[in-house]
Chain A
């Protein structure tokens, strides 16, 4: 029986156009979804439960709008949903501190999360939470085999490594070859009725503050050619103009 935790984050749909309002990103008109890698984290958590028994708790840190991502996780099959209430920007230290504290309170023994969130792209949360808990961690895993220890596959220089991970541990999940299950009607009905366990935890003050958001610098228009013969000229330019070959 394992007490399994999965971290899920609500992020803008990856197809969404990101716009600014003044010097801040304005997400008011943007559709929000579960961060894509978190779907693999949920799937691994559910497979872990099927292999060892136990229960899966999904945790998110966010405002009340983020309940949706928990309901989505519930519909796919997690047992409990917890939101740590917080509507302000947290730096990695603050975010990880409150996650680690709630994971300890819940008695978590293994944590699955995404390899990086689609908004930050950081990949900091899994290893950071693990360090705060004093646990093992492996990031970017493409396969997890469940047992008394976990056995995971992760990229290493020149290929992949199969690594034994003693529990407790945090696994940050890449895509790999697993197929994620979709919610069924029963799951969706249960999720509608499910209660979100809302908690509040004091966060340490952030020491990284956002100064501004901006659009990526526009790329000057490139050169454009018609017909495959131009490939010869482009090859020359790559050497003589761009200096990249």
Chain B
């Protein structure tokens, strides 16, 4: 049976809950994984001790893990992870790491897996317009999309063993630039509310921001909005030439649903569309479609949500 290794997803210096989904993916590939936690401070790995279904937890401790550097992380993890199929999250950083780690071992990487069945792995291709199922005849590094596999339970009590490691850092951070807005980024959000050209003016995005604040959501945008209005930065763009997102809930407001926009968000778990045109293509992908102007719908959405969250 294939040995599996889960590299814990680290966000803001802590083990992220999606790590539990990676453990489930490892089981689908056939074994209880070794969970490797990249950390500068070994106590971070305690955040993986409670996962059920792990064979053991290994704190890979090194200063290399203080800041992300693909070469440094890949070399430090390669030194401690056993041979086998390695599984990471399909976040932008972990996809980058996965590719480097695979290359370091001279094996292949399979990105963005959304289904594992009988040893076969399925990922979206052509921006989600088709799916590709592959089989492995050797070890590989596999990245798994978040919000797809059910998380492993939290009633384990794994021993955490600490292994010191080191790696060759290739780049140096000069400065961190905080985002102008303190709002969460679309790439990291579980709920996203996005506006398109139908919002009329960039100032109207404040209506989306208010709902985002109520829900703890990120605000996204279509390319038409980003290209038309300087106030809407490219970092907010969802789609083919923007970010690919996979939230639990995606609310599209005044967005027609062009194929390139769908490319970035069609795999969202639930999609709500608000658009005044009943024929807008976005409605074909919506779980809940509201044919209305945003001027009419958003105040009602806002007040209902505020009341519910209060």
Interface pick from A67-75, A103-111, A216-224? A216-224
Nearest B residue (CB) for A140:
B92
Partner of B178, one of A25, A93, A136, A158: A158
Interface pick from A11-19, A57-65, A80-88, A188-196? A11-19
On chain B, the residues within 8 Å of A212 by CB distance are 132-133
Interface pick from A1-9, A43-51, A161-169? A161-169
Which B residues contact A (CB, under 8 angstroms)? 11-12, 67-68, 70-71, 74, 92, 95-100, 102-104, 106-112, 120, 122-138, 140, 170-179, 185, 187-188, 191, 215, 234-235, 237, 240-242, 244, 248-249, 259-260, 263, 266, 269-272, 274, 283, 285-293, 295-301, 304-305, 308-309
Q: Judging by beta carbons under 8 Å apart, are A128 and B131 in contact?
A: no
- State the main secondary structure of chain A at its contact with B: mixed
Partner of B70, one of A125, A127, A210, A215: A127
Q: Judging by beta carbons under 8 Å apart, are A225 and B289 in contact?
A: yes
On chain A, the residues within 8 Å of B263 by CB distance are 14
| Per-residue contact bits, chain A 114-158, to B (CB 8 Å; 1 contact, 0 not) | 000011111111111111100111111010000000010101111
Query: Could you tell me the distance between the alpha carbons of A219 and B215 in the complex, rounded to whole angstroms?
Result: 25
On chain A, the residues within 8 Å of B266 by CB distance are 216
On chain B, the residues within 8 Å of A200 by CB distance are none
Q: Judging by beta carbons under 8 Å apart, are A234 and B111 in contact?
A: no
A201 interface residue (CB < 8 Å to B): no
| Per-residue contact bits, chain A 233-245, to B (CB 8 Å; 1 contact, 0 not) | 0111111001011
Within 8 A of B (CB), among A177-227: 177, 206-216, 219, 222-227
Q: Judging by beta carbons under 8 Å apart, are A128 and B111 in contact?
A: no
Task: Give the size of the chain A interface in residues (CB under 8 angstroms).
Answer: 87
Partner of A166, one of B98, B170, B270: B170
Known contacts A159-B177, A166-B170; is A216 also within 8 Å of B131 by CB?
yes
Q: Judging by beta carbons under 8 Å apart, are A210 and B133 in contact?
A: yes
On chain B, the residues within 8 Å of A77 by CB distance are none
On chain A, the residues within 8 Å of B97 by CB distance are 127
Known contacts A121-B244, A139-B70, A244-B191; is A227 also within 8 Å of B102 by CB?
no
Q: Judging by beta carbons under 8 Å apart, are B136 and A118 in contact?
A: no
- Least Cβ distance of B234 to chain A in Å? 6
A55 interface residue (CB < 8 Å to B): no
Q: Judging by beta carbons under 8 Å apart, are A175 and B111 in contact?
A: no
Q: Judging by beta carbons under 8 Å apart, are B136 and A228 in contact?
A: no
Query: Could you tell me the distance between the alpha carbons of A216 and B123 in the complex, rounded to whole angstroms?
Result: 10
A91 interface residue (CB < 8 Å to B): yes
A10 interface residue (CB < 8 Å to B): no
- Least Cβ distance of A160 to chain B in Å? 5
Query: Could you tell me the distance between the alpha carbons of A238 and B286 in the complex, rounded to whole angstroms?
Result: 13
Listed A/B pairs (19) with beta-carbon separation below 8 Å = A119-B126, A139-B70, A140-B96, A156-B176, A158-B179, A159-B178, A161-B176, A162-B175, A212-B132, A215-B130, A216-B266, A225-B289, A226-B292, A228-B274, A230-B292, A235-B304, A238-B270, A242-B269, A244-B270
